[in-house]
Amino acid sequence: MSVQQTTVSGRPVYESARLRFLGVDGFDVYNCSVPFTWHGETYLFGRVEPRDQWADSYSLLFRRREQDTYELVERSRQYQLEDPYIFIHDGEMVLGGTHVVKSRGEIAEIVSYFYRGTDPFCLRYFTSGPSGMKDIRLVDLADGKIGLFTRPRSQEILKQYGSESMIGFAEMESLDELDSDAVNGAELIHGIFENGQWGGCNQAYLLDDGTVGVIGHLSNTVHRTEGVDQLSYRNMSFTFDPGTREASHLQVIAGRGDYPAGPAKMPNLEDCAFTTGITRRPDGKVNLYSGLGDCEEGRVVIDDPFAGRKVLSSLTLA
């Protein structure tokens, strides 16, 4: 396994690859869920969309055929979602993502939709988040409750905190409590973003010391004196203490330049690595997955950002 030096954080990158998707010729697959196991096989949900279209996505289920190669599961359900993610709790899967509502061809609203069930081939819709909010994520907590990470974004947030979006946190007794009121009631976590930055939680993991390991995205706009302003999305991690509601050990763990070179859907997305999450490896390192330029999905192998702590969150459904 060769080592290259990351262009963003100075961390070593031991392997860099692009995922290949079969059965969807003519479509891009990107901003996927983290891979999970069901009945001994590995799957993921991927956002599927034509290169020349935007906000016209479906999330479809893919089965791994070999390392970094996935094939469409043809009999699985189509979910009209962007940027799918999964949460496995007490033998049940939750699939979340962004549902886009259009009116006369224009985006009228975005809403986080959530599906649940024991069969990833056919999950049922059960609740929604508040209008306008993406990147709502769930995690098991040490006391048996469910943690809820939110990402409010507005001009009011920008004016008050200097960030276009913040990350919030709340606790629920069960999945049945997940609704707009629960999301809107989340307490903001301070100290993550500097002025002009924004971001969110993409996948969260309960650690054996009772804290939560968060894999997320850290973003800002790079203004150009000539040419197109760039949106810079990087992969980040931090540790969150549900008791104190404090975040610590924030670090950038990879960026677009750490993955294989490739196209972008639009010129302003050339530096976009929209984080998926991590899976741990037998060698003590992790696979870090990320959407790339809104048209591909990549994987890098890096040192475990939560090394020394056991991950209690499951990525196995059955």
pLDDT for res 297: 98
Q: Which residues pair with 109 in a beta bridge?
A: 101
Long-range contacts for 243-248 (Cβ within 8 Å, ≥24 apart)? Answer: 243/210, 245/169, 245/187, 245/189, 246/189, 246/191, 247/167, 247/189, 247/191, 247/192, 247/214
Q: Which residues contact 155 (CB under 8 A, 6 or more apart)?
A: none
State the alpha helices, DSSP H only, in the chain: 155-161, 180-184
pLDDT for res 1: 42
CB 32 within 8 A of CB 297: yes
pLDDT for res 3: 47
pLDDT for res 59: 98
For the domain spanning 4-303, the CATH number is: 2.115.10.20
- Integer Cα distance of 306 and 313 in angstroms: 13
C-alpha distances in Å from residue 208, one per residue of 140, 142, 212, 230:
12, 8, 9, 39
Q: Smallest Cα–Cα separation from 15: which of 314, 231, 218, 303?
A: 303
Q: Which residues contact 226 (CB under 8 A, 6 or more apart)?
A: none
For the chain, 318 residues long, the average pLDDT of each consecutive 10-residue run is 55 96 97 98 98 93 98 94 98 97 92 97 97 97 98 94 95 98 97 94 98 97 86 97 97 97 96 98 98 98 97 95
pLDDT for res 9: 65
pLDDT for res 2: 44
Q: Smallest Cα–Cα separation from 188: which of 212, 202, 160, 168?
A: 168
